């Protein structure tokens, strides 16, 4: 069974147990048991009406016994005289016969054509397992099949949402740049007592460092580089910062000199590597 989202997905075994109790209450079936299928092996973990511990925790391989045959066939199978049934292997005679079981029905819980769990109903008499009791077990298997399918879909969507959130975090670098540039832009027109605080907030987005080897750019040089990083032209940057275009060019030249770069794009790239801008 899927182990995705363990805190959100209820235990599938609990749903199995609830269906067994439902069949016992409505159909009067004396022996019921079942479990989940893990890599083509059924592990019997839920039961009702057992007198011995032989079936508890029993691992049933595909194609072995009645349940294994039902798993592979993908449909309900039944025998009215288990001890003498020639249509099945008898790998599990010990635990089955120790319960006094004679008539037994095995029903797979199918999800996307594969057995994800098995349900068994049994009598300690030779009466054929059929009628309302059989219908109830088959109905329970169908209910579980739909329940598991829905749970799988929920898990799938959660995985997609988590992947989207991860991707959104990666794409969000552009949003971080926008916020950084806006904070520095606000600092330009803010009262003097708020300017340093706004620039400090901007620096927290990039983890600003006081590394002695990092070039020291002036606030205006960083403001201009921040606008260029957003894709602004010199004219657009000048308009946003209330500067002249030639002044913007001057700040870019001085920043490039300090950074040891030759173009505005090299300056932006190196400033990002040095974590001067996001």
Task: For 70-101, write each residue's pLDDT tens digit.
Answer: 999 999 999 999 999 999 999 999 999 999 99
Judge if pTM exceeds 0.85: no
**C-alpha torsion 159→164→169→172, nearest 10:** -170
- The label of the residue with tokens 């005679």 reads 93
Q: Which residue has the tokens 């049994």?
A: 122
Would the pLDDT of 122 be above 70? Answer: yes
Contact between 86 and 74 under an 8 Å Cβ cutoff? The reply is no
37-43 long-range contacts, CB within 8 A, separation 24+: 37/71, 37/114, 37/115, 37/116, 37/117, 37/118, 38/1, 40/71, 42/67, 42/68, 42/71, 42/115, 42/117, 42/118
Asked whether the predicted pLDDT for residue 119 surpasses 80, the reply is yes
For residue 104, the tally of other CB atoms under 10 A from its CB is 25
Mean pLDDT of 32-39: 95
Lowest-confidence segment of 16-25, 186-195, 264-273 by average pLDDT: 186-195
Q: Determine the Cα–Cα distance for residues 224 and 220; give it in Å rounded to an integer.
A: 6
Q: What is the mean pLDDT of the chain?
A: 85
Instruction: Select the more confidently predicted residue: 108 or 195.
Output: 108
- Identify which of 3-7, 18-22, 236-240 has the greatest average pLDDT: 18-22
Q: Is residue 67 pLDDT above 70, yes or no?
A: yes
Which one, of 18, 92, 87, 29, lies nearest residue 55 by Cα?
Answer: 92
102-126: average pLDDT: 95
Q: Does domain 173-273 have CATH number 1.10.10.10?
A: yes
Overall average pLDDT of the 225-245 stretch: 90
Homologous superfamily (CATH) for 12-167: GAF domain (3.30.450.40)
| Higher pLDDT among residues 137 and 191, named by residue | 137
Residue 202's pLDDT is what? Answer: 74
Contact 65, 72 (CB under 8 A): no
178 pLDDT higher than 70? yes
Q: What is the pLDDT of residue 86?
A: 93
pLDDT band at 4 (very low <50, low <70, confident <90, very high): very low
Each domain of the chain, given as residue ranges in start order, spans: 12-167, 173-273
């Amino acid at each position: 069974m899927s182990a995705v989202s363990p805190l959100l997905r209820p235990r599938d075994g609990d749903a199995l147990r609830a269906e067994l109790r439902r069949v016992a209450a409505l159909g009067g079936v004396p022996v019921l048991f079942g479990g989940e299928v893990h890599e083509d092996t059924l592990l019997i973990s839920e039961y009702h009406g057992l007198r011995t511990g032989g079936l508890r925790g029993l691992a049933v391989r595909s194609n072995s016994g009645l349940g294994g045959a039902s798993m592979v066939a993908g449909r309900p199978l039944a025998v009215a005289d288990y001890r003498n049934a020639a249509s099945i292997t008898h790998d599990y005679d010990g635990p089955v016969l120790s319960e006094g079981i004679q008539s037994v029905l095995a029903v797979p819980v199918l999800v996307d054509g594969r057995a994800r769990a098995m349900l068994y109903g049994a009598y300690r008499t030779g009466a054929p397992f059929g009628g309302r009791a059989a219908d109830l077990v088959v109905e329970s298997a169908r209910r579980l099949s739909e329940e598991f399918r829905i749970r799988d879909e929920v898990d799938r969507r959660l995985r997609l949402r988590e992947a989207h959130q991860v991707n959104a975090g990666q794409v969000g670098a552009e949003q971080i740049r926008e916020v950084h540039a806006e904070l520095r832009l606000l600092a330009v027109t803010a009262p003097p007592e708020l300017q340093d605080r706004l620039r400090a907030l901007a620096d927290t987005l990039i983890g600003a460092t006081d590394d002695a080897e990092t070039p020291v750019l002036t606030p205006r040089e960083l403001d201009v580089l921040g606008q260029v990083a957003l894709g602004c032209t010199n004219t657009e940057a000048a308009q946003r910062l209330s500067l002249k275009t030639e002044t913007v060019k001057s700040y870019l030249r001085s920043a490039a000199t300090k950074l040891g770069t030759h173009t505005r794009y090299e300056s932006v790239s190196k400033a990002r590597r040095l974590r001067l801008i996001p």
